[in-house]
Chains A and B, each alone.
Chain A
Amino acid sequence: MKYLLLVHHDEEAFGKISETKRKEMLAESVQLTHQLHTNEQYVHASPLHPAATAVVVRVRDGKRLVTDGPFMETKEQLAGYFLINARDLNEATRIATQVPGARIGTVEVRPLIEITGLPNE
């Protein structure tokens, strides 16, 4: 089964962590992707630019409404994700605990609905 791990953290607090420490966390995340890749559990992963770069898009009565900022104004913001293969929720949760962001923020584990007809299948 595929699971999406959504990594949330407080951007302001993250900005106060030293540059060296942040680089270490990124290196640890990259290391985790390779470990997952070796175990055939890796699909894709990436950090996201800060929530300030987000725009939200709605279409109502055929008109597009585009506003700056993220969908949710929360203390912690979505900072990146890991898309993984895991046998079950326990395995996905175990991988989530290895994500460095779990130590400073929250990792939400969401199972994917497998649908047919998408490209590349």
Chain B
Amino acid sequence: MKYMLLIYGDENGLSETERKDCYAESTQLAQDIHASGQYLAANPLHPTSMATSVRVRDGKRLVTDGPFAETREQLGGYFLVEAKNRDEAIAIATRIPMARKGTVEVRPVIEIAGLPNDYRMSMEGAS
């Protein structure tokens, strides 16, 4: 099963050095779970100051600056993983460095038919 691990943290909670360490540790985790066949994708996100929210009502688009919700911790990145079950997904989540400072939400992905090539296939196709 696929799980989305959504990483929330205080955007101003890390020093530059801590942020670099966090990226290095996260990249290592991505390599480790790639080796164990559990990695699909991962990436940090730019801060919510660069977020845009889009709604369409009565055929008109409403575009506003800022994230969907104003919260103390903000979505800062994600891991998309392949795990046998929820416990295995939780075990991966506990290894994400930001789990020690912020919060990781684990959400199972609904597998639907008819989508273009899956992520790994499209990545291989692109390389």
Contact indicator B43/A112 (Cβ below 8 Å): yes
Contact indicator B90/A57 (Cβ below 8 Å): yes
Query: CB of A44 within 8 A of chain B?
Result: yes
Interface residues on B, range: 35 or more
Contact indicator A107/B54 (Cβ below 8 Å): yes
Question: What is the bound-complex CA distance between A49 and B75, given in angstroms?
Answer: 18
Q: Across the interface, which residues of A come within 8 angstroms of B103, CB to CB?
A: 56-58, 71
The residue on B at minimum CB distance from A98 is B56
Q: Across the interface, which residues of B come within 8 angstroms of A54, CB to CB?
A: 105-107
Contact indicator A102/B54 (Cβ below 8 Å): yes
Q: Across the interface, which residues of A come within 8 angstroms of B53, CB to CB?
A: 106-109
Query: CB of A13 within 8 A of chain B?
Result: no
Q: Across the interface, which residues of B come within 8 angstroms of A71, CB to CB?
A: 6, 8, 73, 103, 105
Within A55-103, which residues are at the interface with B (CB < 8 Å)?
Answer: 55-60, 64, 66, 70-72, 74, 76, 78, 80-81, 83, 89, 92-93, 96-97, 99, 102-103
Q: CB within 8 Å of B: which residues of A?
A: 2, 4, 6, 8, 26, 30, 33-34, 36-37, 42-49, 51, 53-60, 64, 66, 70-72, 74, 76, 78, 80-81, 83, 89, 92-93, 96-97, 99, 102-103, 105-115, 117-120
Q: Which of the residues A30, A51, A57, A96 comes within 8 Å of B115, measured between beta carbons?
A: A30
Contact indicator B104/A58 (Cβ below 8 Å): yes
Question: What is the bound-complex CA distance between A106 and B109, given in angstroms?
Answer: 19
Shortest beta-carbon distance from B64 to chain A in Å: 9
Contact indicator B41/A57 (Cβ below 8 Å): no
Q: Which of the residues B4, B61, B99, B120 comes within 8 Å of A48, measured between beta carbons?
A: B4
Shortest beta-carbon distance from B58 to chain A in Å: 9
Q: Which of the residues A36, A47, A115, A118 comes within 8 Å of B110, measured between beta carbons?
A: A47
16 residue pairs of the A-B complex, CB under 8 angstroms, read A6-B68, A8-B68, A30-B114, A33-B115, A43-B119, A44-B40, A46-B2, A46-B109, A53-B107, A57-B104, A58-B102, A60-B100, A102-B61, A109-B52, A115-B43, A120-B124
Question: What is the bound-complex CA distance between A99 and B73, given in angstroms?
Answer: 26
In the complex, besides A56-B104, A57-B106, A102-B54, 7 extra interface pairs with C-beta distance below 8 angstroms are A6-B75, A47-B109, A47-B112, A54-B107, A107-B53, A117-B27, A120-B127
